[in-house]
Amino acid sequence: MSVIKVAILGFGTVGEGVYRTIHSHQEELTAVLGKEVEVAAILIKNKNKEREISNAILVTDSFDEILQLPQLDVVVEAIVGKEPAVSYLKKAINSGCHIITANKEMFAHHGKELLKLAEDNNVSVGFEATVAGGIPVIQTLRQLLKINRVHQIQGILNGTSNFILTEMREKKQSFTEALLLAQENGFAEADPTNDVEGFDAFYKTMILSRIAFGEEPNWKDVELEGITTITSELIETAEKLGLRFKHIASISKEGSQINAIIKPTLVDKSHPFYHVEGVQNAVNIQSDIVGGITLQGPGAGMFPTASAVIEDLVFVCQNDTNNKISRPVANSFGEKKTELKEYWLVHGLTKKYLNTTVSFIQDVSDETYIINGTKNNVEQIFSLHKPLCYFPIIGEFKTLINA
Ligand SMILES: NC(=O)c1ccc[n+]([C@@H]2O[C@H](COP(=O)([O-])OP(=O)(O)OC[C@H]3O[C@@H](n4cnc5c(N)ncnc54)[C@H](OP(=O)(O)O)[C@@H]3O)[C@@H](O)[C@H]2O)c1
């Protein structure tokens, strides 16, 4: 029986998880692929670290040495940052290897060119692990997009932020205390900027946009806000209203325009994200035939992420060169609709600054109240009165207010 030879770049949380899963699930992989999967080489940075790796495997800090192996079919990339990851993957593609990556920062920046290069070289690209860890959101989208038209995706895409918001609400902790706990539990890095300022969710949203709509919005036009503005007081206020803060990435297409917003958002009990707690991730996909689908699960960690990579391994080996979504994604999604009015929780603005474009709905506490208006109306008021906070409320909140 012939063998599929794999190189793993990186032997940290993800790389080691992939290595161990290939061994623990060899029987299943062989049954599905009709060939054994063999880890032929592992790339690391620090050759002095102790690692539990079989002596039969080439462990090296030289990628060129890996490329010189007599047979190499798939390169799995699980290192950190844009470089040297993207250069290694380009070399791998040019050498005829399928590639799989877990590296969202690199893929958000270079995914388009890697997909094109792979297409030109008749190899496949797997990137399931770049978005929402173990949740099979990319494969679900690929499958749905064969016939459905996806018009909106919302996601809780950063487990660290969701963990911090959950701790702040459940244990009445401050942002700093909850962040420290996240770091102690290994859910947040020593430098948590990428997570708490929303960049990690931003990269994932751009990857989702490319697969769902075939393109990305202009990065500069994306409204991006992390969770650092959320205080214990705001969380308590929201709770009294039956609402919870979630860091939500929302991406939609209307007409030919893609809108992306990544910011703290209030959800009520009717919304599928209300009960998504701790390090969990969730993705809600709205499409024309099936309606709404919500996927929820672990967004990170050794084995959830390895699961996504292994699913990709099967995908790239079976599909061979299927980089593209099977049909072209529609360029235009119906007419651009008139902007809908939404509910907003507003904090830190004296009521007298509101104008007639929005309706005042309810006082919540001092300088905190609920208004109703379009996003445009609200943004205009707040552009004149910074720094203030306003958060969209999603779900069936209207019925709660009127009850
Ligand atoms: N952790 C998760 O749950 C998760 C989930 C989804 C996606 N991801 C993404 O997956 C990637 C890996 O994450 P991780 O958590 O596994 O990271 P990690 O634990 O920090 O491990 C990184 C690994 O990459 C190696 N490495 C770093 N730079 C290298 C270089 N220039 N050349 C060769 N090897 C290099 C390191 O080598 P040494 O061991 O020698 O230092 C280490 O083995 C990241 O892009 C991350 O965003 C992670």
Domain boundaries along the sequence of the chain: 3-133, 137-299, 342-402
29 CA distance to ligand 1 middle (Å): 24
Q: Is 204 marked active-site? A: yes
Which of 268, 229, 232, 273 lies closest to 250 in space, CA to CA?
Answer: 273
pLDDT (average), residues 78-106: 97
CA-to-CA distance for 13 and 11, rounded, in angstroms? 7
pLDDT at 387: 63
258 CA distance to ligand 1 middle (Å): 32
pLDDT (average), residues 283-294: 96
pLDDT (average), residues 346-363: 86
User: Under DSSP, is residue 381 helix (H, G, I), strand (E, B) or coil?
Assistant: helix
The CATH architecture assigned to 342-402 reads 2-Layer Sandwich (3.30)
Class level of CATH domain 3-133: alpha beta
pLDDT (average), residues 132-143: 94
pLDDT at 331: 57
pLDDT at 336: 65
Q: Would the CB of 129 count as within 6 Å of ligand 1?
A: yes
pLDDT at 326: 44
pLDDT (average), residues 346-369: 86
pLDDT (average), residues 265-277: 96
Q: Do residues 135 and 283 lie in contact, with contact meaning Cβ atoms separated by under 8 Å?
A: yes
pLDDT (average), residues 212-222: 95
Give the pLDDT band of residue 349 (cuts 50, 70, 90). confident
Q: Which residues contact 78 (CB under 8 A, 6 or more apart)?
A: 8, 9, 10, 12, 14, 15, 18, 101, 102, 103, 129, 309
350 CA distance to ligand 1 middle (Å): 47
User: Under DSSP, is residue 385 helix (H, G, I), strand (E, B) or coil?
Assistant: coil
CA-to-CA distance for 259 and 254, rounded, in angstroms? 8
Fill in the amino acid letter for 34.
Answer: G
pLDDT at 339: 80
Percentage of the chain lying above the pLDDT 70 cut = 93
Is residue 103 pLDDT above 80, yes or no?
Answer: yes
Pick the CATH number of 137-299 from 3.40.50.300, 3.30.360.10, 3.90.78.10, 3.40.50.1110: 3.30.360.10
Q: Would the CB of 10 count as within 6 Å of ligand 1?
A: yes
Ligand 1 atom at minimum distance from 47 CA = 40
pLDDT at 50: 93
pLDDT at 1: 59
pLDDT tens string 242-270: 999 999 999 999 888 999 999 999 999 99
pLDDT at 403: 43
- Please tell me the total number of residues recorded for the chain in this structure: 403
pLDDT at 255: 86
pLDDT (average), residues 340-347: 91
Average pLDDT, the chain: 92
Q: Would the CB of 15 count as within 6 Å of ligand 1?
A: yes
